[in-house]
Chains A and B, each alone.
Chain A
């Protein structure tokens, strides 16, 4: 059956050749591919910094790197992964590629601004690379003052400007998505017929547009204090160092939801497709995305529970932090219920979705420990926190992103990858991840502080386990690079809808033509309609 499938003659990948046809494209799909390549490179660089950190931590003594070098390693790991990989990841690659076809549109509302967003990310990255080659930066990705503004001798300003500029990339992408989702839906595609992937990106975009300017201003304040000596955060001159923490986390806590919400959107699509069933409680899942976006702005001070804020404000922020946990719990229950009476199969994207369940559950539930004031005082700024946010931002967000990449790869490229190796990689990532980060919860409760170059001997066993896990995880992350590249030439031709999915994007040829649809699609039914009739139409029987 598959032998008869052929790639379409004309598609977005062969519509124009040469570098110029890519660099000046307005096609959201080509921009998405350029994002994919860019952030994959950044992920590799961020991963190398992480590997350096894990190797250093195999012994209690700080024996591999100088303390300053180590501090730069974890700082640049964080900066690269947060600003140049995680924040763009799912929205800029998968969202960019898929939101227009999912809503039956030819492109995003502002194709040129979309290209500008990509260029801004590149310019931001250029500043980061300048900082890197000029000697690196050692403030931690959090840039806490007055260390960053007065004490550090490293390249704070270029790094901060890199983050500042890439922030505008994020703002413009969010703006583009909001306008596109409002204005460009196909006839018949009402709000409650939108795929949950689109709802998740809508919520994400709100955070990007409303939150990112705050961190941009904060970064400018640090730069201005450093360069021109304005007293904003430096207490010696009347500034307030804790003010920085409020401003920084006002964005950077919601930023976690910029990373995880799109991944949740992916999981909704994958779970529905591979169980051939509509999402259980569509509106609960859709509204929980919005609830997370709104509550996400009201919890920032839980990063300041030991920063001398008043006892009562700490209680308010603790309470609100529990409130934001509820919509995430609701989503998880709804996904589990979706599986009930489904017709479930376990191709690679579904394996990633199952991996996401496991890691996101642990990541989400360990958030409860940190929201609980009495426990947070003990584990604040220890490895417990490091483990928790990696479970969310790596376990959750990257499992979602990789699951999505495997799910839509045939749509992106027209070809299938090796099912065997991709399953191996999904399992390696899951096992390696848990081995890396679960011991860090125990380290944290034992009291090991984060950002330590050297540590007391009693923490060594757990650190060795963690470093061993990181090696497994590294293999799990590298494998997809190989089989994805292999699939470009040799992969089986996928056809328009290899999974038998119901979304509009699967009605396009794979890879799609530049204009996505030959004629304007009209939507008549509900999302996620899997009936025997649909199955027959999709040639699944």
Chain B
């Protein structure tokens, strides 16, 4: 995939890559056709109709309505093909399959931190299995970053204060770039890493090798206890806060009369800025945990609360709970 030694596109390593490249070459073909047409026309006209004596003037041609309508309408129609194709690719890219493996990414100046449900945590390196959809839920601890995986032809901004997501299905075992594509200060160009695509078996073996703190849910459960969340959020629903059982994916009525769907973003906001949305029938008693819980821990708490809604939790862990590996620094790989 190169010409004269200069590569034209990065490795095609995800299910999106072929479609995006095809669309890219389609637009190159269409725009190449128009660019060539106009270029040839102006050059040929420039030669054929060059001024032959000083007093020569051009023909009086004011316009030609059918012609002008034609070159307004035909490009419009062609551009609608691009729009439609691009929009359908995008829709596909924005719709993760229900069975996707869930991974969390947190950007901070200037590193990417990834957390797997099984408990592994890594920095600037992301291990994923080949041939399985992976959904990455992304946030940032400080400024806006953007998680870019060029070989997968996808990216998504990491925005402080909210969750965004992207998904992909890797098609080729190998190591590929991770870049930050939203300028984030001094070491922006050093906020890079590697996504390691592994055979499913290797991935399982890798998963088994980390996670001293237990799974993400287990970490979340410990935090839930440490922060004494259970004092109010009783299972019975009779506590000062609503029960957290079976709430994910449900629509809850809020005190101000509006409603909200319980998803990861809602859970995150309800922890750090608990006054933002109060469930109907409850008092705004909960303290805000802004600044008290790191983004990494928020992710664990959110996963724990999600685990309390078993029928709504669509993302099964990739493996059974891995036993804690002794003496492994969870932030280091291999």
State the A residues within 8 Å of B (CB). 62, 67-68, 71, 138, 140, 142, 144-147, 150-152, 235-236, 238, 240-242, 275-278, 280-284, 305-308, 311, 314-315, 318-319, 322, 325-326, 329-330, 332-337, 339-346, 354, 357-358, 361-362, 365-366, 368-369, 371-378, 380-382, 442, 445-447, 449-456, 458, 461-462, 530-532, 534-536, 540-541
Contact = CB atoms under 8 A, between A and B. Distances in A.
B49 A344 contact: yes
Contacts, number: 302
A455 B157 CA distance: 20
A462 to B, nearest CB: 7
B142 A146 contact: yes
Interface string B157-189: 101111010000000000001011111111111
Interface in B109-159: 109, 142-144, 146, 148, 150-151, 153-157, 159
B143 A151 contact: yes
A69 B79 CA distance: 42
Contacts of B188: 67, 71, 451-453
A238 B181 CA distance: 25
Interface of B: 5-10, 19-20, 23-24, 27, 30-31, 34-35, 38-39, 41-42, 45-46, 49-52, 54-64, 67-68, 71-72, 75-76, 79-80, 82-83, 85-91, 93-95, 109, 142-144, 146, 148, 150-151, 153-157, 159-162, 164, 177, 179-190, 192, 273, 290-291
Nearest to A447: B150
A530 B189 CA distance: 57
Nearest to A283: B63
29 contacts: A67-B187, A67-B188, A71-B185, A71-B186, A71-B188, A142-B183, A145-B144, A281-B64, A282-B63, A307-B157, A307-B159, A322-B82, A339-B49, A344-B50, A354-B46, A369-B24, A369-B27, A374-B87, A375-B27, A376-B86, A377-B90, A382-B181, A442-B8, A449-B189, A531-B60, A532-B55, A532-B57, A535-B56, A536-B55
Contacts of A334: 63, 68
Given A341-B58, A374-B85, A326 B75 contact: yes
A375 B159 CA distance: 22
A345 B38 contact: no
Given A456-B177, A540-B55, A151 B185 contact: yes
A318 to B, nearest CB: 6
B31 A330 contact: no
Given A322-B80, A530-B57, 12 more contacts: A147-B143, A150-B143, A277-B60, A281-B63, A282-B62, A284-B63, A322-B82, A334-B63, A339-B42, A342-B58, A362-B35, A530-B60
Contacts of A305: 90
**Lowest 3 CB-CB distances: which A-B pairs, in order?**
A235-B161, A447-B150, A374-B89
Contact of A343 (B24, B41, B49, B79): B49
Contact of A330 (B51, B72, B148, B190): B72
Contacts of A238: 273
A327 to B, nearest CB: 8
Given A281-B64, A377-B90, A458-B7, A450 B35 contact: no
Contacts of B61: 277-278, 280, 337, 340-341
A350 to B, nearest CB: 9
A142 B143 CA distance: 14
Given A71-B185, A336-B45, A461 B6 contact: yes
Nearest to B109: A151
Contacts of A151: 109, 142-143, 185
A236 B291 contact: yes
Contacts of A67: 186-190
A307 to B, nearest CB: 5
Contact of B155 (A276, A377, A451): A377
A524 B296 CA distance: 75
A376 B86 CA distance: 9
Given A146-B160, A344-B46, A366 B31 contact: yes
A412 B90 CA distance: 52
Contacts of A365: 31, 34-35
B86 A378 contact: no
Contacts of A371: 79, 82-83, 86
Given A67-B187, A345-B51, A235 B8 contact: no
